[in-house]
Structure 1
Amino acid sequence: MTSPYRELLGVPGARPFVAAGFVGRMSMSMVGIGIVLLVSAVTGSYGIAGSVAATLSLSYAAGSPLSARFADRYGQRRVLVPVVLANAASFAVFIAVAEAGLPIWTLFPAAAAAGLTQVSLGAWVRARWTYALRENPARLHTAFSFESVVDECIFVAGPVIVTALSTGVHPIAGLAVPAACTLTGGLALAAQRGTEPPPRPRRAGETGGVLADRALLVMAPIFLMMGLVFGAIDVSAVAFAAEQGHKALAGVLLGCYGFGSAAAAFWYGARHWRTPLATRFRIGLILLAVAMVPPVLVDDLWLMMPVVLISGMAISPTAIPAYGLVERLVPAHRLTEGLALVSTAVGAGVAAGASLAGRLADGSGSGTAFLVPLAGTAVAAVLGLAGGRSISKRELSSRSIAE
């Protein structure tokens, strides 16, 4: 029997845009750490470094959905080329400012410019899958499952690579390499015209963005909470490993978490589901909340590894139908914007979760910090259940329109 993933990558033009997207979004797990390591090296302050990184994250949250909206309206190539060129120039300026020892305040506008020109390339790639599989939309769940695996690989490998570059080569390298990845992957993606979704000009009388949709108003906060879970888990795991006297094994602990999610994504994408997306999403949210309970109770590093592996297995079966719902609920002419918006919500949640968990870990230890992802999943589950009727109705109506 042919693997559904092999069939997926056999779609004309799929392999090149998958490769370009992988290279281009490697930076999403590297830029934040790269900024912290570079700024802390030149200023001697992690507080300043964290504030600069937060500035980039906030400006990214503002700019990414906007560039995605323009991509929907004018086409990916016309928007992507100037944006990634501006991003490369912005990072070059940021590095020059940091290395020149200019006043600290100059780091903030430089970081803001770099963040505004960052693109949520995963959303652009998912939009390409939607267009490439327009004749067979049932395979989208396999495509989104595959993209979840790619994301997990990036988030496992990226921090290791950027840390090695910054500490083993030069602090500049930890930021120059991810910036080069964005530039190279972005230009390579823009060059692939055959799989580019056609531009969809703004419709007459149309006002507002994708958040004008009530169903997406429910989904965006859930994605925010999911991001909070991811960020809090990272910091809590590092703090836990340090408390156990094995800080060097923090990467292994996080690797177990990522491996669990990737394995679940492979399994999920290989199955053909008849259960509605909204139902699968709500079940996933409940399972995710339950899966976050055991890490709060464990106090042994070696036991924690299989525990977080199992916890990680609840991530992908929640995230994949979530992206599928966005694809189903958002109008086709705003798909890239919708996907970028929820991806940005995840990024904002990661920053908030990491900050909150870090404060609790400093003050009360990792056990308290692990309460943050548990609380985040609980809130996400409540939001999902409360807004479930609205989402289900929209899914049914969009399905009937498609049929």
Structure 2
Amino acid sequence: MSAVSSRPSYAAVLRIPHARRTFAASLAARLSYGVIPLALMLCVTRATGSYAVAGVVMAVFGATVVILSPYRAALVDRYGPRRALLPMTLLHAGLICVLALVSRHPGVPAVLLGATAAVTGACAPPLGPTMRTVWGELAADRLLLQRAYSLDGVAEELLYVIGPLLVGVLVGFTAPTVGLVLGALLVALGALAFVTSPAVGAVRPARRAKPAGAGAGRRTSLVPGRELLQPVVVSAGVGLSLSAVDLLVVAFAGQRHFGDATVAWVLAALSAGSAVGGLLNGAVDWRTPARVRLPLLSVGLGLALAAAGLAPGILTLAVAAACTGLFVAPALTTAYLIADEAAPPGFRTQAGAWINTAVNAGSSAGAAVTGLLVERLPLWVCFAVAGGVSVTAAVIAWAAAGAGRSEGRAASFSPSGGVW
């Protein structure tokens, strides 16, 4: 059950003091995440002449970004956004420029490119999770926070459309290394504007903890437990299903002898559906608890994706992709809301980072598995399997929600000595 509420609106979110400046700076910095991957892939491909090397370098870069994300977020919670983000961002931007410099030389050793990419990814600042932490401080009302998260999620998704388009324009008249430099400038200048915002300055570091037997001054780190299992599992399932869509659409178009342009239109329909779904989700005052909605959204996504495999033509597939997208942003927004509710004070950034990690890890696994399935199974079966992942994740999430309700919030996370 739900009811559409006229207030608070999305305009009300942007009327919060310092919200527009902080949000705009965050988006400018996060645009680099849409620019850097494609620019890096093009740079490595041109420098080495090998798609295999480019794939390995991108995999190493992505792995360090994803796996270390919760730990970088822990630094933000531990020291506060201003003290942690700025040096992290400047180091990340500097290493991107090093990558641009190294990849300018044809025949550069693949090991050097891989090592530099790994260190660069390890320093990537958790700008998205930090912005959601700031939203949590700015929007005290849960309904207003839901609007803020929905707006943030839709805007972030659009950045991953705009970023590659910018790189495409740049490489039309200049070298792809310019794309890397652009990414470095975006993340550095955007993060500088972000951390100097009064809203970011109001986010305080986590309190010092003195567990039994531990020395004074040690801080606690976040270990996800049962309460966080539900949103993490659903997010991983969504990431895996979505990564499968890209390859499945390419295979669909190839089997029916459509051009590459049709693939772009189908994927654009998916993104458009996600944007519409995210805005609609944020505009509704939900009466159903988030932990009940999340599995239902995951089931809806899975069923829509499975049905897409039965599409007779590319236009029908685009419509099915748009219907699938309607569930994407709402599912991820709801996962972030649950993580925020479950996180103890001072651990919001880490909680959000675990959702990011789950989505990205699912995407990486999904791309590899789908490639194997497409070569061995009928395409409609591959769509069904991809959709079944989200349905399975929903079942696990539902079980986790039931178990979580039987435990207190104190069991949500295990505070432990810092791992620094």
Q: TM-score, normalised by structure 2?
A: 0.88
Asked if 1:108 is matched to 2:120, the reply is no
Question: RMSD of the alignment, in Å?
Answer: 2.3
Name the aligned partner's letter for residue 196 of structure 2.
Answer: A
Asked if 1:27 is matched to 2:39, the reply is no
Asked if 1:145 is matched to 2:150, the reply is yes
Q: Secondary structure at the match of 2:288?
A: coil
- Structure 1 residue 245 displacement after superposition: 2.1
Specify whether residues 287 and 393 from structure 1 end up closer, same or farther in structure 2 by C-alpha distance, changes over 3 A only.
farther
**Match of residue 326 from structure 2:** 313
**Distance in 1 of aligned mates of 2:352 and 2:316:** 37
**Match of residue 401 from structure 1:** none
Q: Which sits farther off after the overlay, 363-372 or 379-388?
A: 363-372
**Match of residue 131 from structure 1:** 137
Which residues of 2 match residues 162-311 of structure 1 at below 5 A? 162-196=167-201, 197-205=203-211, 209-243=221-255, 244-311=257-324
Name the aligned partner's letter for residue 24 of structure 1.
Answer: A
* Contact 1:278/1:325, CA 8 A, preserved across alignment: yes
**Distance in 1 of aligned mates of 2:91 and 2:79:** 18
**Distance in 2 of aligned mates of 1:274 and 1:265:** 17
* Contact 1:77/1:191, CA 8 A, preserved across alignment: yes
Q: Secondary structure at the match of 1:297?
A: coil
**Match of residue 325 from structure 1:** 338
- Structure 1 residue 158 displacement after superposition: 2.3
**Distance in 2 of aligned mates of 1:189 and 1:225:** 31
- Structure 1 residue 148 displacement after superposition: 1.6
Provide structure 2 residue ranges, at least 5 long, that are not aligned to the other structure.
1-5, 212-217, 412-420
- Structure 1 residue 202 displacement after superposition: 3.4
Deviations 1:131-189 (A, max 9, x none): 0113x233111111111211221122223222333354322123222232211211111
- Structure 1 residue 343 displacement after superposition: 0.6
**Match of residue 369 from structure 2:** 356
**Match of residue 390 from structure 2:** 377
Name the aligned partner's letter for residue 268 of structure 2.
Answer: G
Name the aligned partner's letter for residue 126 of structure 2.
Answer: S
Q: Which sits farther off after the overlay, 114-123 or 352-361?
A: 352-361
**Distance in 2 of aligned mates of 1:165 and 1:362:** 35
Provide structure 1 residue ranges, at least 5 long, that are not aligned to the other structure.
399-403
**Distance in 2 of aligned mates of 1:280 and 1:173:** 44
**Distance in 2 of aligned mates of 1:396 and 1:331:** 9
Which residues of 2 match residues 89-100 of structure 1 at below 5 A? 89-100=94-105
Deviations 1:237-262 (A, max 9, x none): 23333443221222221110011111
* Contact 1:13/1:195, CA 8 A, preserved across alignment: no
Name the aligned partner's letter for residue 231 of structure 1.
Answer: S
Name the aligned partner's letter for residue 119 of structure 1.
Answer: P
Which residues of 2 match residues 66-81 of structure 1 at below 5 A? 66-81=71-86
Q: Secondary structure at the match of 2:347?
A: helix
Specify whether residues 185 and 242 from structure 1 end up closer, same or farther in structure 2 by C-alpha distance, changes over 3 A only.
farther
- Structure 1 residue 213 displacement after superposition: 2.5
**Distance in 2 of aligned mates of 1:284 and 1:75:** 34
- The percentage of aligned residue pairs carrying the same residue is 28
- Structure 1 residue 364 displacement after superposition: 5.7
- Structure 1 residue 396 displacement after superposition: 8.3
Specify whether residues 84 and 372 from structure 1 end up closer, same or farther in structure 2 by C-alpha distance, changes over 3 A only.
farther
- Structure 1 residue 366 displacement after superposition: 5.3
- Structure 1 residue 93 displacement after superposition: 1.4
Name the aligned partner's letter for residue 240 of structure 1.
Answer: F
Specify whether residues 38 and 239 from structure 1 end up closer, same or farther in structure 2 by C-alpha distance, changes over 3 A only.
farther
- Structure 1 residue 111 displacement after superposition: 0.4
Specify whether residues 272 and 81 from structure 1 end up closer, same or farther in structure 2 by C-alpha distance, changes over 3 A only.
same
- Structure 1 residue 190 displacement after superposition: 0.8
Name the aligned partner's letter for residue 203 of structure 1.
Answer: A
Which residues of 2 match residues 150-161 of structure 1 at below 5 A? 150-161=155-166
- Structure 1 residue 52 displacement after superposition: 0.5
**Match of residue 360 from structure 2:** 347
Specify whether residues 181 and 364 from structure 1 end up closer, same or farther in structure 2 by C-alpha distance, changes over 3 A only.
farther
Task: Tell me how many residue pairs correspond in the alignment.
Answer: 397
Q: Which sits farther off after the overlay, 61-70 or 113-122?
A: 61-70
- Structure 1 residue 323 displacement after superposition: 0.8
- Structure 1 residue 372 displacement after superposition: 5.0
- Structure 1 residue 361 displacement after superposition: 4.0
Specify whether residues 310 and 175 from structure 1 end up closer, same or farther in structure 2 by C-alpha distance, changes over 3 A only.
same
Q: If each structure's helix is expressed as a fraction of its own residues, which one has the higher value?
A: 1
Specify whether residues 350 and 70 from structure 1 end up closer, same or farther in structure 2 by C-alpha distance, changes over 3 A only.
same
**Distance in 2 of aligned mates of 1:45 and 1:353:** 23
* Contact 1:220/1:345, CA 8 A, preserved across alignment: yes
Specify whether residues 394 and 309 from structure 1 end up closer, same or farther in structure 2 by C-alpha distance, changes over 3 A only.
farther
Deviations 1:272-306 (A, max 9, x none): 11211111112112212211111211241121111
Q: Which sits farther off after the overlay, 8-17 or 358-367?
A: 358-367
* Contact 1:328/1:395, CA 8 A, preserved across alignment: no
* Contact 2:134/2:199, CA 8 A, preserved across alignment: no
Specify whether residues 163 and 348 from structure 1 end up closer, same or farther in structure 2 by C-alpha distance, changes over 3 A only.
farther
Specify whether residues 224 and 207 from structure 1 end up closer, same or farther in structure 2 by C-alpha distance, changes over 3 A only.
farther
**Match of residue 63 from structure 1:** 68
* Contact 1:120/1:344, CA 8 A, preserved across alignment: no
